[in-house]
A and B are shown apart, each in its own frame.
Chain A
Amino acid sequence: MTFDTLAARALDTATSSGASYADIRFDDGRAERAEVRNGDVVTLADSRSCGYGIRALVDGAWGFAASARLDDTGVDETAALAVAIAKAGAAIAKHRFAQAPTERYVDTFRTPVVRDPASVPLGDRVALLLDVERALHATSSIRVGRAWIDLWQTEKVFYSTTGSRIAQTILQSGSGCSALAVNDDDAQDRSYPGDIGLYQSGGWEIVDAAALRENAARIGEEATQLLSAPQCPSGVRDVILGGSQVSLQIHESLGHAAELDRIMGWEANFSGTSFLRASELGKLRYGSPHVTIVIDNTMPRGFATVGYDDEGSKSVVDDIVRDGVLVGFESSRDTARTIGRATNACVRAENWRNVPMIRMCNLNLLPGNVPFDALFDGVDDGIYMESNRSWSIDDHRLNFQFGCQIGWEIKGGKKTRMVKNPTYAGVTPQFWNACDAVADEHSWVAWGTPNCGKGEPMQTGRTAQAASPARFRNVRVGVGYDA
């Protein structure tokens, strides 16, 4: 199906109605999910949604409207509505950040795929999940076993009045499993990979890479062992976080904090604001010199990897924290201009009906130069924690407390006994400044997050934070401590 004719009509209608710039984004998305719980297939969902969103710029104000009516009348009405909304905004706007872009791209992008998920029969997918879920019941203490697969394919075509025409085919896949062990005194959860599964861009090879069959029994056994494990000790200790937990740490304490729209107060009503200020660029020591965090929306397998964002900007690699110093924010064209920068193409909409806004994309902690095992060297008394279990952070993204599913004490540089209910707390810049080592590229994984919420009406975004395990010194561990 080609959208060229409808797009031309929509853009003509918008400009003839008074827009100085307009773009239209067609989005045809398919989402498939299969889930098995305790031997039953509890979810087999296959949904598709197709429509378009139109942005119109009038006198420095944006209007947005969306529709699923793929005919002349539909695009005419929707384009006119977008312009009308822009005019209404222009009539009352005190500050006008928006300017018409000048970039023009005619390009295509397709997620590199090794194995098309469509080539994997539904029966094989379900058989995999049934096998994995069965293996989770490694002991009789496992009362709830779950295994799931998510697949997305999105066709997007973006047109603008500057002459851009960008066609993208984006495939994203993910899978995971979890086991809940229960006895008369306690219940303990374990999941794999990480806390929500492995989500990346690509095809069935992402599901294969998760190696669910190979790890399910171990996860069930660990959940059972946690039932009789001692409580994680409390106090100030050194902490090593597993890669998926570092990923969540990035997501919550930097990813959201460095969204420029939050910093400008545009998200204060729902998502919150940020403790960061634009004036701190290049000055704030966000973390130790071991901490370099970059946006890379071009990386293979990154869950948020695309060719272009949803306002037609080309994906780039851009520093956010370089050697510990805050040097950038996630931005759109308009927000970036306010700080004298160019956009780093972090604008996304959940689907055709949602307005594009700044979203965390691939935000990666670059790997360090020590092997994972070497992180334990020099830790006399510490805790190694894996897989998030709970998170709590204030709406400035400054004070946080996270809980993990499993931990191990570290004594004399060695990983020793397992502990349950490990938690740690901190203040964002203090915590990142306490990082004194990041594991190397051998344990670096592009962890994806399929359920990031932001905006009002809320949009669910697919983000990623590639990370390897990292070590932090003198962290407040557990719930009781003498600070």
Chain B
Amino acid sequence: MLDDFDAHKAIAEANERHEHAVGGEGPHAPKPHARWVPLAAALLAVVAAIASLLSNKSGTEAMALKNQAIFLRTEAADSYSFYESKSIKQHLYEALRDANPTMTASVQTKLATIAKRESSEKKPILAKARAQEEQAKTASERSERFAHAHEVMEGGVTLFEVAIAIVSIAALTSSTFLIYFAAVAATGGLGIVLYGLSLQ
């Protein structure tokens, strides 16, 4: 798995393959490019490790933001419930006032005052609920952006790993063609990782 990528191990394996490739005599003598192939593998491994780190960080951030969004939604739901309770009280006091024509003016005034107070108190609660909901929405959207970036960057990390593998094969087979192929894969990986970072 990409999460288990071990740069040291990849470098060691590339070096081992390099040693194996250049260690012969006579017709198997090392070609000139074989000297920098292990270095290229090592550099690719380092870049892949950094890309993997950034990708995992993006994934972690996505989960943290999703948790925050859920928490804020819960707070918004609580605020809406509070708003609901205030609304019920307001409407019931209004109904109580309206349904009893025989009650004294002072009692009617008192009930109207309570209903008005509930009405005025509920407004900031509604505003708070809506703000919390908006914050939750923002957090959720950011979470999705980070999650998407994570997915994209994982693709880049994969291409880096492919490039390392191709470099290793190139070292074993002394193939110049494969070196170019590895370069293309590494360039593609770098581009995808940078694109992923831009998505955050």
Contacts and interface: CB of A to CB of B under 8 A. Distances in A.
A143 B129 contact: yes
Interface stretch (A36-44, A58-66, A83-91, A428-436): A36-44
Interface string A207-239: 000000000000000000000000111110000
B99 A187 contact: no
A479 B70 contact: no
A281 interface: no
A186 interface: yes
A23 to B, nearest CB: 43
B15 interface: no
B73 A182 contact: no
Contact of A234 (B73, B96, B102, B126): B96
B74 interface: yes
B103 to A, nearest CB: 9
B95 A478 contact: yes
Contacts of A184: 126
Contacts of B83: 182, 187
A185 interface: yes
Of A42, A143, A188, A420, which is in contact with the most chain B CB atoms at under 10 Å from its CB?
A: A143
Contacts of A479: 92-93, 95-96, 99
B104 interface: no
Contacts of A478: 95, 99
Given A180-B80, A185-B87, A231-B91, A482 B73 contact: no
Interface string B92-134: 1111111110100000000000000000000000100100010
A423 to B, nearest CB: 8
Nearest to B97: A480
A144 interface: yes
Contacts of B84: 180, 182, 186-189
A233 B98 CA distance: 10
B88 interface: yes
A232 B97 CA distance: 13
Given A182-B126, A187-B84, A144 B76 contact: yes
B180 to A, nearest CB: 44
Main secondary structure of the interface of B (DSSP, over half): helix
B81 interface: yes
Interface string A23-38: 0000000000000011
B126 A480 contact: no
B143 to A, nearest CB: 10
B54 interface: no
A143 B95 contact: no
B171 to A, nearest CB: 45
B70 A180 contact: no
Interface string B49-91: 0000000000000000010011001101100110110011001
Given A42-B70, A421-B91, A235 B77 contact: no
Interface in A96-123: none
Interface string A176-200: 0000101011111100000000000
A186 B122 CA distance: 9
A482 B97 CA distance: 12
Nearest to B93: A479
Of A37, A182, A478, A481, which is in contact with the most chain B CB atoms at under 10 Å from its CB?
A: A182
Contact of A180 (B81, B92, B93): B81
A175 to B, nearest CB: 19
B77 to A, nearest CB: 5
B97 A37 contact: no
Contacts of A403: 88
Contacts of A235: 99
Interface of A: 37-38, 40, 42, 143-144, 180, 182, 184-189, 231-235, 403, 420-421, 423, 478-482
27 contacts: A37-B74, A38-B77, A40-B66, A40-B69, A40-B140, A42-B74, A143-B77, A143-B80, A143-B129, A143-B133, A144-B76, A180-B77, A180-B80, A186-B87, A187-B87, A231-B94, A231-B95, A233-B99, A234-B99, A421-B91, A421-B92, A478-B95, A478-B99, A479-B95, A479-B99, A480-B98, A482-B102
Given A37-B73, A421-B95, 9 more contacts: A37-B74, A42-B74, A144-B80, A180-B77, A180-B84, A187-B87, A234-B99, A421-B92, A480-B99
Top 7 nearest A-B pairs (CB, nearest first) are: A480-B99, A187-B84, A234-B99, A480-B96, A479-B96, A144-B77, A186-B87
